[in-house]
Homo-oligomer: A and B are copies of this chain.
Amino acid sequence: MTTIRDVAKKAGVSVATVSRYLNDSGYVSGEAARAVADAVKELKYELNPVARSLNTKKTNIIGLIVPDITNPFFPELARAVEDVALTYGYTVILCNSDENPEKEKNYIETLRKKYIDGFIVTSNQLDAPHYANIPLPIVALDRAINANIPTVASNNREGAGIGTRALLERGCKKILFLRGPEELNPANDRYEGFMDVIRHSGIEHHVAICPFHFTESEKIVESILQEQKDIDGIFASSDVSAAGALKAANTLGISVPDELQIVGFDGIAMGEMLSPGLTTVAQDIYKMGAIATRVLIKRIENQTEEQHFYEVPVELKIRGTTRSVEE
């Protein structure tokens, strides 16, 4: 294998000069630069990326921290991050945090030492010291905002308003809102958006805290529907919860959408596989991941940022769990 010494010999300069040239880390005369460039070309010298990392402290690797890749929202996000990273010559390390601050901290610490270039993070811990003091570029995705960390998120509040109106326009008279975990910013924004619209509608409503988890949502909705048989609309803050609600309705023999209409939030691929297909407030998950990756790489490469908060619009996708709009 050709070494840096071979290149230096061929170019008639010192190894230090070759290193300065290759790593762009100090003065090299025009003449020396040309000689090194020619020698590199002639000898087909490939710069060892690990040696280069040691000089530049860059690896072209970014970390993606998600709570759990098996939650169907995150594979679509991961796919976008990897696709866009690849076009910039970056690869992606996948980290499942389980929302555990210790795990997040360990990941950041371990990968920082390996000169990872930056992180895209979906976490509720963004104000925790391991993020606040991190000496690396970082972009927050979907969740919580720290003033120093650029954030990419959907217009959750507005989106929830759209979902709520979809149920009202279709004649619902008593709506159950499945609110997500209270520690989750997007869930709270969706709750606000629901309240913005329902508050002025005069329509009866009921709010239940409900984790973004299929079986638990199914159980919660089954028990509520058994007690409150006049509920004719459910708006769930996540598609997984909406799927649980649909399953509960099926179990209880409640016909969807004739007796009960359901709207979800997320737009994950699973929604169309359900019967009937799930009407949902769809986030542009791929676009969120793509923007976050571009913003991160810009920061890594010290390019100026235009903005600090990126809001990605949602879109109402009408499928079979809702009826036609009443005239």
Q: Is the CB of A247 within 8 A of B275?
A: yes
Number of A residues, CB within 8 Å of B: 49
- Residues A50 and B115 in contact in the complex (CB < 8 Å), given A69-B75, A70-B76, A82-B96: yes
Q: Say how far A70's CB is from chain B's closest CB, in angstroms.
A: 5
User: In whole angstroms, what is the CA distance A50 to B113 when docked?
Assistant: 8
The complex places the Cα of A3 from the Cα of B235 at a distance, in Å, of 58
Binary B-proximity of A240-280 (CB < 8 A = 1, otherwise 0): 10011011001000000000000000000110111111000
Instruction: Indicate whether A124 reaches chain B with its CB closer than 8 angstroms.
Output: no
Contact B96 A79 (CB under 8 A): yes
Contact partner of A92 among B70, B93, B243, B276, CB < 8 A?
B93
CB<8 Å pairs between A and B, sample of 16 = A50-B53, A50-B59, A54-B54, A61-B93, A68-B79, A74-B75, A78-B94, A82-B94, A82-B96, A83-B96, A91-B95, A214-B272, A244-B273, A247-B273, A250-B275, A273-B274
Contacts A50-B113, A93-B94, A214-B272 known; list 7 others, CB within 8 Å: A50-B53, A61-B114, A72-B72, A91-B93, A91-B110, A240-B273, A270-B273
